[in-house]
Structure 1
Amino acid sequence: MPVETIHTDYAPPPAGHYAQACRAGDLLFVSGQLGIAPDSDPAIPVERQAERVLDALAAIAGAAGAALHDVAKVTVYVTDIGDWPTINAIYASYFGAHRPARAIVPVPALHYGAKIELEAVVSLSFGP
């Protein structure tokens, strides 16, 4: 089965040579989503950036016929680990009782001055 590119207008368009996500079999690999657009002000509060990356993840998963409760693994990159309690609270509000596997990676900088980037793997197998 060939790899299928997934795109939605409800998430930021890629700013480089990559897809928003790629479906390979029953897995959807969501590219890193930033909380800001390349032409936006990087001073957007981290709370709003966290909401934006999670909204983008939900939109991309939805474009592939999935939802946040189908997310299996998330990697979150943050430029200030001190923002983690705030980001985690917003993350928990989006996922509710669902708890995907997750890694938090502190990094010195992200593209365009963003404070958070999120990538994910989503299960597209809807059977038992």
Structure 2
Amino acid sequence: MTQLIDSGTGAAHPYSPAFVAGGFGFVSGALSVDADGRAVDGVEPALEAAIARLSERLATIDMTLGDVVKTTYFVTDVTLRDAANRHYERVFRTPRPARSFVEVAALPYGATVEIEAIAHRA
């Protein structure tokens, strides 16, 4: 079964924030922005904001962080890795999802973190 979620992203964001196919949930990158779309300053607050936005996107397909099997972190500064590792340990239970960690030159809206995910519902 394939389920497309239309969240009203509009022309500025011509993609699905989340998509379900074959029991897997594919979640587009969730930025480190507040609920109003403004970039969040500080390492820990940015990580928390990105996870909050990721959780919101997962909820649109009736999934949670507990369903996540793989994440990809895009960061504007690779030195965030240690803080991200500590945050990962708090957010995800063992066995934790697989993760990639990639430094990028910039992210939309001035964000410093973007997290995309693959989830699976057993």
TM-score computed with the length of structure 1 as normaliser = 0.80
Percent identity (aligned): 34
Q: Which amino acid aligns with 2:84?
A: I
Deviation at 1:61, TM superposition (A): 2.2
Aligned partner of 1:89: which letter?
Answer: R
Secondary structure (helix, strand or coil) at the match of 2:51 reads: helix
Flag structure 2 segments of 5+ consecutive residues without an equivalent: none
> With structure 2 as the length reference, what TM-score do the two structures score?
0.83
Q: Is the 8 A contact 1:26 1:123 kept in 2?
A: yes
- For residues 44 and 112 of structure 2, what CA distance do their matches in structure 1 show? 10
The partner residue of 2:32 within 31, 35, 56 is 35
Q: Which residue number corresponds to residue 54 of structure 1?
A: 51
Partner of 2:112: 115
CA RMSD of aligned residues (A): 2.4
Preserved CA contact (<8 Å) 2:72 2:99 = yes
Aligned mates of 1:43, 1:68 — CA distance in 2: 21
Tell whether 2:16 aligns with 1:19: yes
Cα 1:100–1:39 change in 2 (3 A) is closer
The Cα of 1:56 is off from its aligned counterpart by 2.1
> Is the deviation greater in 102-111 or in 29-38?
29-38
> Match of 1:110, as an amino acid?
L
- Aligned partner letter, 1:61: L
